[in-house]
Amino acid sequence: MARFGVRLENDPQLTPADSVELARLAESRGYEMVWVPEGSGRDSLTQLTYLACHTSAVKLATGILPVYYRTPMLTAMSAAGLSDLSQGRFVLGLGVGHRPSVEGTHGIPFRRPLTHMRETITLARRLLDGEQVSHAGRVFNVSSASLGAAAPGQKVPIYVAALGPQMLELTGELADGVLLNWTASNYLEQAIHHMHRGAEKAGRDPSEIDVAGYVRVAVSEDPEAARASLQGQIARYASNPFYNNFFQGMGFGNEMSAAEEAIQRGDIAEAGRAISPEMQDQVAVVGNADQCRAEIERRRSLGLGLPVVAPFTVDEAKASYVRVIETFGG
């Protein structure tokens, strides 16, 4: 069976009971992983703990856990705990987040993101492997740290959220997998190239590194409504400097400029209309069930090993998720 993951957004329209029902549906349909991001005032670890207690086979991943908010020791402790609770089903997804959130919301300086990620992966991996760790780095200075008997008995896979060349190369060097976001078909080849380059520099086999990626999906017989919802989602990213630059680098500078100007005027509807059909088709999948399945398989053929479908709301949140999960499940 083809590999699939699903992202369960921290959507205020979804109750905890809804999330359990959706995770169980994905599990029953043969999905490999359920990914839970942080957002809407909820942390991913609490949500995954709840899901771990109500599922038995599907893997559970943080998508993602920002490294600035937690020390490597705390990250390793949480990973070990969830791995134990889920009987080895936990996957640790890490990312640096974005400057506006790290500095504005959390009040933490956004410094040395690559170094911060490198040292976090290195320390967390060694702690999870049961080592006693001393480390004098540019970000962390650790002396005789250890999880002791709490170290998990099995390996905890580490995935890194990466888009830019340097973070992709770091992922290839150190991680078990990459988690792409807004997984555009015209960027996949470039992203995989950078990741493989990092792996080869480190003497690793690039084929051993999993390529996962969020793909926004709406399965709908009303493509106009689905695309209107998608346009609004993409447009909101125009105010985030990181994603604005990312989308511009993909050739969508006109869309980002127009959307950003509209947002500054407070015209959200106009910002959404600035997102062209070409951009929509590159960064998301919209259509009926057959059309969506065909487009996901096209991206798989380009190197996306684990498509993580990220349903977005068209009419009602839970119904939108169910349609997507059932479309790709066995």
Domains by residue range for the chain, with CATH: 5-220+288-328 (3.20.20.30), 222-283 (no CATH)
Dist. CA 234–CA 146, nearest whole Å: 43
The dihedral built from the CA positions of residue 184, 189, 190 and 191, taken in this order, carries a sign that is positive
User: For 29, which DSSP code?
Assistant: T
Per DSSP, helices labelled H in 274-330 are: 277-283, 289-301, 317-328
pLDDT at 122 over 80: yes
Q: What is the pLDDT of residue 314?
A: 87
Higher-confidence residue of 168 and 12: namely 168
Query: Burial letters for 148-185: b for 16+ Cβ neighbours within 10 Å, e otherwise?
Result: eeebbeeebbbbbbbbbeebbbbbbbbbbbbbbbbbbb
Mean pLDDT to the nearest integer, 124-134: 97
pLDDT surpassing 80 at residue 40: no
The average pLDDT across 166-195 equals: 96
Residue 54 C-alpha from the chain's centroid: 22
- Give the model's pLDDT for residue 15: 93
Q: What backbone torsions phi and psi does residue 306 show, to the nearest 5 degrees?
A: -130, 90
**What are the tens digits of pLDDT across the range 271-280?**
999 999 999 9
Mean pLDDT of 22-29: 98
253-272: average pLDDT: 93
- The torsion region of residue 279 among left (phi > 0), alpha (psi -120 to 50) and beta comes to alpha
- pTM score of the predicted model: 0.96
Considering only the C-alpha atoms of the chain, give the largest distance between any 2 of them, rounded to a whole number of Å: 59
Residue 1 has pLDDT above 80, yes or no: no
Is a pLDDT exceeding 90 seen at residue 46? yes
